[in-house]
Structure 1
């Protein structure tokens, strides 16, 4: 098709490429049919709106007329938004890994007309450098191979397909539930690799890796070993004070390129902020550290003011670049701070590491990582610093702003909904619960007539059908909303989402869940969602949510499903501790899940009891409020996976009971 069709799409990322001279097509039957008709390879380019290197390659190569002409003549060119179609991204990223290449975006793959990959890479420069060929050289080599060496193409496609088929085979033969000591050994092994000065895993770049941090937090609760909690708290404090955090506007960037959390890649993603918000709730509930409360409040406010859409759901991301310059909106020169703050600039600069030389490429990334500025200061000083930050934020709003990707992704929104629901209780902020409830209502309103969820919605239309991650995260969101509101209909929703997963995504042979629906036949392979990446794998989230559903409903089928998943996945844990963190968290829930039922009016709830329950800071502890009409005093009933304990009424009694049951019924 001799034109660029991306202007017809809804995705903000695809529309960024609508003016390229490349004849880009969306991934659809028309594009695939053209490849079959012309018998030319598919050039597949996958990226996302907030991706810095995606923008670089677009400016260098996709905007170049000569490169575009070569692409149009020799390939069918398909552009995919990885956030809109993570099922496509998953398959071809796995194909790239099978070639021995590290992953990343933009993802550049070359496929047969039958969508089978035979070669690929990531970013390619316009001229040879860093030991990499130019993009034009790559295109010429691929076209030459396609035209004159079909046996090479066939050999490569078979090798990649065989590799992916082996990778999606059953993880293990299910047996009994594995020994809980395997979980403890996993946490001990990971602790060895933690950077106990700056937090996170040692080395650079550094990602927050929320499922892994939650796994370590749970290990502390399960074993009583404070070293695990310390690793999490060190990480969160450094993230909260580092340049990865936006000290003026709130919210966290995707990751840091250095090993101290100073220099971020400046994109802000909804998924990361939802996961970190939930972890900060746990940290604040346990420690009452004002730093954690401040970051909770600031990030929640940023989400509500900058990322919330008129429909009630939340946008996907803010771009890393402003006017093609990474981080331009966020960084400062010392004289700019002086101009805004006047005499107060000197003190602010001392606290936030602002110097004439700068701390990054001649500019300053605001941070409080240095000794003497890291710790929370007195109330008077922090209040003054807050006023100065507000002044700088006001000035920053006059700068060009990064683009916002207004897609609504169900799984990312559901992750945030769960965090907002918990935050509403942690911070005593009903506005956060209202926002969570409204977002959940919007996502369920998008369900099809058959009851299926969507994955992506943008510009008034559904652009992608539901994936396993959508149902998994919506199960979890419904459970957190039930905890915060006591409304039973949220449990009914969680049960419905579970049924959808069983019907369309569950693989009985492997005990895992396919990411894509069984109806998705355009892809050459169908892979499981059983390895944590930027988001936790669907399989782990479903296992945990199923265990919670058992406690909330008493229906044995949910516990059986959670146990089956864990039995199948146990062998994978030993081989990949980090990528199976969500499954390990589910296993911890099966071992330690507790259900605390508060019998009595919330208005009569003893604040001392509230403080005791909150300080438990346990993601495996579910709370439910019931108000019997005859209640004269508040009673608390605690149940675990195989028993309920006698009711208690006093704060010291529930504190003792929670302490005695924290390690789990199986220990």
Structure 2
């Protein structure tokens, strides 16, 4: 296919940048040549940040960046720079902070105007090509800024200096008020979430509604600690409502990004790897805590979707699937959700009459479409599949037993899915990111531990090995992104913290010492590269990374948890696994540094609260010692340790015939004193630094677990 325009982005690896390689805009990547051009020609920089599965990024591209007239203005008066936020989260964090400070809100596409020395003076998000919805038109914005640059450049430069200085001061050293780290802080987090909880539909707030998996995970832990039934009820209501709603892909599995309405029916249809990882984990934990098979099924369907559609043959996991796709193979215009929505007539042509009647009743399929919230008219005459009536209600309506209705629906879903797979698929962003892969590794490892399916362990191991082989440079540093044969971009705190998190869960699933070793090595590297020794906490970028406007410490747990929150939990878990007191002290310093945030807006830091919950205890260290882990008694002990929800627990295994036993004892010296007793598998249980008597009896071990913290 020939294109009238090709710019320098054609040489990039990022799928997002490649999407813009045929714009008439003369795009640069974030590179020295762009800034040299801006200085030489005395032009401001237009910085556009987005990602390849971002719906409104596509809209702005189509409306403005493919527009010859607008492109001419950009090329003549600005140096346009395009950045993939998923490749460069450091740049995204800095300039998102700028735009949020300037406008009170942020999002993508992120549009920022900079002086040639990269200092911001104006910004926003999506701009329509012409003024509408109360927003200025993009062309008008460009011409206005160009005019101001010509006539008021010194004032603009002073404004950029002032904005930069203010943000540097905000992110710089500060006085840390010592706080009492106690369980009352956890109560604040719970009360904040409870005040925002939607008791009718589950979730938090009105709309849009986001999954907030780490908030649900914290609530599980809170309910476990304080025997608070309402915390568990909030989790169960939300998990059930999400999985029955249109935000969940009822045919193919996996969750869409968020719900545009209060009732979880109409989603924003993109699918992100991190959502699958975070939500699979919380559904697994809910299954462990309640033994409700519904949560097990949803977790398994999420993981099966990832293995089917987001798994690289090389071992890692891809990043995302787009919300938009073509309606037909010969089409030219992509629309949101068309891969997932259905006219009733199409359903009835695929299914038998009985199947269609039951399927439509169960999933709320209507002749004229069922989208209750459709402000842009995108789903007219189409149906979003969601559970409108229970199996029992459908069974009663059709005078059948629920098991028969369930079987009919299962067969109907298979038929519809087979047809759906013939539609043009949404774009797949096939870059492999270390941070998101770390979260996914943790979920697959946990799934193996709880469900026992070997393919989940294989997926976790393959992804971890891929990262260790392909995304660690010669100096032992983690790189951030792999695509098209190239590993590049030095890792951030999120790459280290999330991958360490995955390695710990993987070790606790298969007890291969190499993953424990790598977790420890990378933790030492993480402390060397990111730790703020004077004040505590981790910077987002390494000490030798590219110098940006300011060096941030991020703790907000948003769509993904913050690097600091996950790193805190890593430090605590590894401290309990090794006896390393320095790790424990570093975690305490981190909590102190962010103490003010924890008290001011608790529900924004729920992953950090989960880490604090572990640090406060009560906690438990379990060691299974055996000649061979394959011994039936050892397996029974392992199974028992995983059968109950014990969130503040670390699990180690010492096997006499392991070739790496010496390496394990070097990592965790206390294991030298915990061999198998009398040549039999032995369980050692320590709680709050006090060890119970070891036992060879699986039954006695189960009693110890039930009587613990």
TM over 0.5: yes
**Are 1:513 and 1:528, in contact at CA under 8 Å, matched by a contact in 2?**
yes
**Are 1:62 and 1:68, in contact at CA under 8 Å, matched by a contact in 2?**
yes
What secondary structure is seen at the aligned counterpart in 2 of 1:393? helix
Please report how far the alpha carbon of residue 375 of structure 1 lies from its aligned counterpart in structure 2 after TM superposition.
11
Please report how far the alpha carbon of residue 484 of structure 1 lies from its aligned counterpart in structure 2 after TM superposition.
0.4
1:355 aligns with 2:366: yes
**Are 1:169 and 1:510, in contact at CA under 8 Å, matched by a contact in 2?**
no
Please report how far the alpha carbon of residue 381 of structure 1 lies from its aligned counterpart in structure 2 after TM superposition.
3.0
Root-mean-square deviation (CA, aligned residues, Å) is 2.1
- In 1, Cα distance between equivalents of 2:246 and 2:579: 46
Question: Which residue, out of 682, 693, 698, partners 1:646?
Answer: 693
1:399 aligns with 2:423: yes
- In 1, Cα distance between equivalents of 2:280 and 2:587: 26
Note closer, same or farther for the CA distance 1:12–1:554 as it changes in structure 2 (3 Å cut).
same
- In 2, Cα distance between equivalents of 1:392 and 1:570: 51
Per-residue deviation, residues 495-540 of structure 1 (Å, max 9, x unmatched): 1111111121111234221112222334222211222222111111
* Paired residues for 1:480-559 under 5 Å: 480-559=505-584
1:384 aligns with 2:412: no
1:368 aligns with 2:397: no
Please report how far the alpha carbon of residue 272 of structure 1 lies from its aligned counterpart in structure 2 after TM superposition.
0.7
Please report how far the alpha carbon of residue 488 of structure 1 lies from its aligned counterpart in structure 2 after TM superposition.
1.7
- In 2, Cα distance between equivalents of 1:155 and 1:584: 41
Please report how far the alpha carbon of residue 405 of structure 1 lies from its aligned counterpart in structure 2 after TM superposition.
0.4
Please report how far the alpha carbon of residue 82 of structure 1 lies from its aligned counterpart in structure 2 after TM superposition.
0.6
* Paired residues for 1:45-56 under 5 Å: 45-56=48-59
1:665 aligns with: none
**Are 1:597 and 1:623, in contact at CA under 8 Å, matched by a contact in 2?**
yes
1:434 aligns with: 458
- In 2, Cα distance between equivalents of 1:222 and 1:234: 20
1:335 aligns with: 345
Note closer, same or farther for the CA distance 1:169–1:618 as it changes in structure 2 (3 Å cut).
farther
Please report how far the alpha carbon of residue 3 of structure 1 lies from its aligned counterpart in structure 2 after TM superposition.
7.0
What secondary structure is seen at the aligned counterpart in 2 of 1:605? helix
Higher relative contact order (CA 8 A, sep 6+): 1
Note closer, same or farther for the CA distance 1:602–1:188 as it changes in structure 2 (3 Å cut).
farther
2:705 aligns with: 658
What secondary structure is seen at the aligned counterpart in 1 of 2:623? strand
TM-score (norm 2): 0.89
Any unmatched runs of 5+ in structure 2? Answer: 327-333, 372-378, 396-400, 658-675
What secondary structure is seen at the aligned counterpart in 1 of 2:645? coil
Please report how far the alpha carbon of residue 348 of structure 1 lies from its aligned counterpart in structure 2 after TM superposition.
0.6
1:594 aligns with 2:620: yes
**Are 1:420 and 1:433, in contact at CA under 8 Å, matched by a contact in 2?**
yes
Please report how far the alpha carbon of residue 648 of structure 1 lies from its aligned counterpart in structure 2 after TM superposition.
4.0
**Are 1:282 and 1:618, in contact at CA under 8 Å, matched by a contact in 2?**
no
2:101 aligns with: 98
Matched pairs, number: 661
2:195 aligns with: 192
Please report how far the alpha carbon of residue 318 of structure 1 lies from its aligned counterpart in structure 2 after TM superposition.
0.3
- In 1, Cα distance between equivalents of 2:510 and 2:361: 45
**Are 1:253 and 1:266, in contact at CA under 8 Å, matched by a contact in 2?**
yes
Larger mean Cα displacement after TM superposition, 177-186 or 468-477: 177-186
What secondary structure is seen at the aligned counterpart in 2 of 1:25? coil
1:80 aligns with 2:103: no
- In 2, Cα distance between equivalents of 1:373 and 1:59: 47
What secondary structure is seen at the aligned counterpart in 2 of 1:315? coil
Question: Which residue, out of 474, 478, 493, partners 1:449?
Answer: 474
Note closer, same or farther for the CA distance 1:379–1:287 as it changes in structure 2 (3 Å cut).
farther
What secondary structure is seen at the aligned counterpart in 2 of 1:463? strand
1:408 aligns with: 432
1:474 aligns with 2:504: no
What secondary structure is seen at the aligned counterpart in 2 of 1:580? helix
Any unmatched runs of 5+ in structure 1? Answer: 663-667
**Are 2:362 and 2:394, in contact at CA under 8 Å, matched by a contact in 1?**
no
1:574 aligns with: 599
Please report how far the alpha carbon of residue 269 of structure 1 lies from its aligned counterpart in structure 2 after TM superposition.
0.3
Please report how far the alpha carbon of residue 490 of structure 1 lies from its aligned counterpart in structure 2 after TM superposition.
1.4
Question: Which residue, out of 621, 624, 640, partners 2:649?
Answer: 621
* Paired residues for 1:82-161 under 5 Å: 82-161=85-164
2:17 aligns with: 14
